[in-house]
Amino acid sequence: MSNATGLARRQASAIALALAMVLSLAATPTPASAQTAMTPDMGKLMATAGVIQVEGAGGGGLVPWATITGYGSRDSYGANVHYTYVGTQDYKLASYGVAVGIADRVELSLAKQRFTGSLAPLNNLRIDQDIYGVKVKLAGDIVYDQDTWMPQLAAGVMVKRNNGIGGLGAVTNVKDLGAKSDSGIDYYLAATKLFLDQSLLVNATVRATKANQMGILGFGGDKGDRYQAMLESSVAYLLNRQWVVGAEYRMKPRNLAADNEKDYYDAFVAWFPSKNLSLTLAYVSLGDITIYNPKRQDGVYLSVQAGF
Amino acid sequence: MKTPTTTLAMILVLLATALPAHAQKADDSLYRDLGGLEVLTKVVDDTLALALADVRIKDTFKETDMKRLAKLITEQFCELSGGPCKYSGDPMKEVHQGLGLSNRQFNALVEDLQAAMDKSGIPSRTQNKLLALLAPMQRIVVTK
């Protein structure tokens, strides 16, 4: 068993345990007056926990942020489930997952992605990937540090396991497409600053990765198999407590000859009707995914999230 | 010829004269955007009415003279936003020491304030400017 797989399994167990705790506690109604450390306190302000990004971590749409997901304050915890759909002309990416935020300090996430094709000869294509995430807030506070330039800082890892390819005949593993590995770990450092007096949020994330198309096409390749630092950035404007609009950019490596990989972009609007529900709609530009279909893939991103 | 020392001295003199002048004609645009003393008084009254009905924090006001508290918070908001008031209460740290307020309770009052500002029709971007001035107080108000 490789280190990555071992780590992934241990994290999966930790996530399962945390979730079991969350579910058992959330199922026990407690009167507000009897607030204890064990009851979810929903103590963060609306929208300040962000949403869940496409790999399951707390953030924007494509980019992980330094925010810890969920509405639990530093004395409590939060959790949520999400479903995200990305549809371009010729491909679809559906993902779902769970995430837990503990004491506004640690975030654990699990996401399952399924990538499918709709254009022949890739109309039966199916690639699955699991992503286990851990994020730790290091310093700063997105809401309270309004009198300094200090952003909220967090470090995170995403352990990714590609589960293989279906519907492509003899090609059943991303390594058959030129990837060096079907599993990998991304490491990132995120800085998120809310300029409340401008109603403006700015995020910058640096990610060390070998992942091709986030790992959908494996890790490393014939053109390179080294960790590279990628810059990812988001800007968001708070129209009010319920509506946020913004744009993102995500730099990508180019490790595969068969995949002329391009940077990702999106422009989004997120709606927070309550602390229990959010909807994110975006226009995404993902570039061309393979040299066999050299057409820029643009489309829609829709994510729904429910939790506390 | 000016030496670096005289240049530095000139800069210091300039700063020393410029800073008080700047402080005197403080920017009162936020105070005006919020609607001045009349609106601030109503916002604070509404906030405290909401707070007294808020199960998360109503018990923290059990021994509080609410009329005096409203006057002091109004003064504070007025002064912070650049208005012609002077906060006459005790330092925030002293006032909140020993109350054992949690982060959730701090944010509960913020939410009540947001609702009160909504009620007075203050736009979100103006609300956020005031909240940006209040947010750093979390570090001294929240002691739990």
ipTM of the complex: 0.86
Q: Is residue B9 part of a domain?
A: no
Structure confidence at residue A285 (pLDDT): 97
B-interface mutation test, from A39, A41, A142, most B Cβ less than 10 A away = A41
Our count of domains for chain A comes to: 1
Q: Is A150 on the interface with B (CB under 8 A)?
A: no
**Interchain contact, B132 vs A196, CB within 8 Å:** yes
The closest of A104, A88, A109 to A18, measured between CA atoms, is: A109
Q: What angle do CA A113, A116, A120 make, to 5 degrees?
A: 170
The CATH number given to whatever domain includes residue A250 is: 2.40.160.40
Residue for token pair 């300029």: A195
Which residue range forms the structural domain that includes residue B53? 27-141
Structure confidence at residue A290 (pLDDT): 87
Calculate the average pLDDT of chain B. Answer: 89
Q: Is residue B22 part of a domain?
A: no
Query: How far away is chain B from the Cα of A83, in angstroms, using its nearest Cα?
Result: 28
pLDDT by 10-residue block (mean), chain A, 308 residues: 49 52 47 60 96 98 98 97 97 98 98 96 95 98 98 98 95 96 98 98 98 98 97 98 98 95 97 98 95 93 98
Q: Is residue B124 part of a domain?
A: yes
Q: Is residue B57 part of a domain?
A: yes
Q: Is A32 on the interface with B (CB under 8 A)?
A: yes
In this structure, how many other beta carbons lie within 10 angstroms of the beta carbon of residue B5?
8
Structure confidence at residue A292 (pLDDT): 86
Q: Is residue B34 part of a domain?
A: yes
The CATH number given to whatever domain includes residue B99 is: 1.10.490.10
Our count of domains for chain B comes to: 1
What tokens were used for A11?
């994290």
**Interchain contact, A45 vs B111, CB within 8 Å:** yes
Structure confidence at residue A301 (pLDDT): 98
B-interface mutation test, from A45, A76, A239, most B Cβ less than 10 A away = A45
Coil vs helix vs strand at B95: helix
Q: Is residue B91 part of a domain?
A: yes
What tokens were used for A125?
């294509």
Give the bridge partners for A161, in sequence order.
A130, A183
Dihedral of alpha carbons A230, A244, A112, A156, sign: positive
Q: Is B139 on the interface with A (CB under 8 A)?
A: yes
Structure confidence at residue A215 (pLDDT): 98
Q: Is residue B15 part of a domain?
A: no
Query: How far away is chain B from the Cα of A150, in angstroms, using its nearest Cα?
Result: 12
Which residue range forms the structural domain that includes residue A286? 3-307
- Which stretch, A115-124, B16-25, B73-82, has highest mean pLDDT? B73-82
pTM: 0.87
**Interchain contact, B114 vs A241, CB within 8 Å:** yes
What residue type is assigned to position A127 of the chain?
I
Regarding predicted confidence, which is higher, A107 or B3?
A107
Q: Which residue of B has its CA nearest to A45?
A: B107
The set of residues, in sequence order, having a beta carbon less than 8 Å from that of B96 and lying 6+ positions away, is: B140, B141, B143
Residues of B in contact with A101 (CB under 8 A): none
For the stretch B88-109, pLDDT in tens is 999 999 999 999 999 999 999 9
What torsion, rounded to 10 degrees, do the Cα atoms A28, A34, A35, A40 define? 10
